[in-house]
Amino acid sequence: VARMTARNNGELISLINTMLDITETEAGVAHIKNEKFDVIQVLNEACELFRPLAEEKQVTLVSTLPSAQVIIGDRKRMQRVVTNLLENAIKYTNAGGAVSVSAEVHESGIDIVFEDSGIGISEKDLPHIYDRFFRGDRSRPRGGFGLGLSLAKAYTESMRGRIDVRSSLDRGSVFKLTFERTTSNA
């Protein structure tokens, strides 16, 4: 009983901290680092971290990433965004499905794409996926609090980025992050 209480308290504290992060970020009062970092390195690290989970679920995880690309932002926040999107892609993809992470560099910046062949998001739910605590009908049995995409959107926008989504039921989802890049790559 004590272990369960401690775990529940830990989950509650995590939930409260995530809510505070979202609120502070959206209000513009969060401390956000503006540092140069290699976003491709962050993506590669996340793919390696989640590869065992994908293999355990029998989901193919493929990454198609260019060489180093430097952006300006908060590396830790970018790690949270990437982790949320990659974890969701794997969570909502059934055995035998696939998740891909790719990046395309263009003149003004970089597009980072998370694509899955998962359960997809209904047209009815799509406008609400970034709302705090929103969980679509099909996502409820898979756990979570409905804060991951709210946090991903707040963090992405705090780094002057944009997040877009396309999705079809039973065909999967595509989340695209767009960031400006620095003029030098390292």
Contact 59, 185 (CB under 8 A): no
Q: Where are the alpha helices (DSSP H) in the chain?
A: 2-27, 39-56, 75-91, 148-158
Q: Distance between alpha carbon 60 and the CA centroid of its chain, in Å?
A: 18
Contact 152, 21 (CB under 8 A): no
- Taken in order 79, 85, 90, 92, the sign of the CA dihedral is positive
Contact 73, 179 (CB under 8 A): yes
The residues, ordered by sequence, that sit 6+ positions from 34 with a Cβ below 8 Å of its Cβ are 72, 73, 74
DSSP lists the bridge partners of residue 180 as 109
pLDDT tens for 70-103 read 999 999 999 999 999 999 999 999 999 999 999 9
With residue 26 as reference, give the H or E element that holds it. helix 2-27
With residue 176 as reference, give the H or E element that holds it. strand 172-180
Q: Distance between alpha carbon 176 and the CA centroid of its chain, in Å?
A: 10
The per-residue pLDDT string of the chain (186 residues; one tens digit each, 9 = 90 and over) reads 556 565 555 666 665 666 566 667 677 766 777 899 999 999 999 999 999 999 999 999 999 999 999 999 999 999 999 999 999 999 999 999 999 999 999 988 999 999 999 999 999 998 998 887 777 765 555 556 678 899 999 999 999 999 999 999 999 999 999 998 665 444
